[in-house]
Amino acid sequence: MEVVITTPPQAASLVADAVTAIFRGRPDAVLGVATGSTPVLVYDELGRRVERGELSLARARAFMLDEYVGLPEGHPERYRTVIDRDFASKVDIDPANVHGPDGLAEDLPAACAAYEAAIQAAGGVDLQLLGIGSDGHVAFNEPGSSLASRTRIKSLTRQTREDNARFFDGDTEAVPRHCLTQGVATILAARHLVLMAFGKGKAEAVHHLAEGPVSAMWPATALQLHPHVTVFVDDAAASRLQLGDYYRETFQAKPSWQGI
């Protein structure tokens, strides 16, 4: 796991470099997209590169991590709406090639199985963008999630519903209780995982992610089992890292050709 301590704009630029490199080599590659506040700077940067003609996602396929159960189509906080607004509308991807778990399906387990099959049929995810919850969730794999899990229905913790209440006019009760989420094993099957975390509220989760023992109590720690993970944190999110100085020195001395 490579931990890079930097500013959010610098992280966005480095992540956009990695995305650009993948799609220059293979225009129909598969991008895993996350919702929430953290990846928005990356989507803005990808949008600027598309505008300048440096990147095209016209043939890209994208898969979302998760979706609330039961939010109606067009609801501003339904993750499909959020990803259209924050990502798809800013780049040249065909919206028909943006996929997410169907939180409105009558048969939710069947929708989860179909989603797993769709990711596999696309050849798997080349680069997966990830955030992290203050409780250590990755996608919506809350504490206690099986580290071998696949896409399934989960109940959100009170902590996550409180964290996400800011998107629902501060009303925790308006945040759905259930979601469909890629499992931990689904995420680990992607070829490159890029996780970003900014702000003091993420410091404890980031410490566990990079330096704690692998445990279902902090599901993001499962990323330690993946051979290619890049974690971008700002100074505040890095404030509880024991090896912060080492990560800083390592990144400063990194050859520029190496990429992430």
Q: List residues with catalytic annotation.
A: 66, 135, 137, 142
* Maximum distance among all Cα pairs of the chain, rounded to whole angstroms: 53
Beta strands in 36-100 (DSSP E): 61-64, 66-68, 98-99
Residue 8 vs 47, nearer CB to ligand F6R: 8
Residue 144 is given by DSSP the state T
Q: Applying CB under 6 A, does 37 fall inside the site for ligand F6R? A: yes
**Interface pick for ligand F6R out of 11, 19, 30, 34 (rule CB under 6 A):** 34
Give the CA count within 13 Å in the CB-facing half-sphere of 4. 23
Residue 190 is given by DSSP the state S
**Rounded Cα–Cα distance for residues 69 and 20 (Å):** 33
Residue 137 vs 150, nearer CB to ligand F6R: 137
**Interface pick for ligand F6R out of 137, 152, 154, 207 (rule CB under 6 A):** 137
Query: CB 221 → ligand F6R: shortest distance, Å?
Result: 14
Query: CB 137 → ligand F6R: shortest distance, Å?
Result: 5
Q: Applying CB under 6 A, does 183 fall inside the site for ligand F6R? A: no
Count of residues binding ligand F6R (CB under 6 A)?
14
Question: Which single residue brings its beta carbon nearest to ligand F6R?
Answer: 131
**Interface pick for ligand F6R out of 131, 176, 183, 219 (rule CB under 6 A):** 131
**Rounded Cα–Cα distance for residues 224 and 124 (Å):** 20
Q: Applying CB under 6 A, does 223 fall inside the site for ligand F6R? A: no
Which residues, other chains included, contact 104 with Cβ-Cβ below 8 Å and sequence gap of 6+? 69, 70, 71, 72, 73
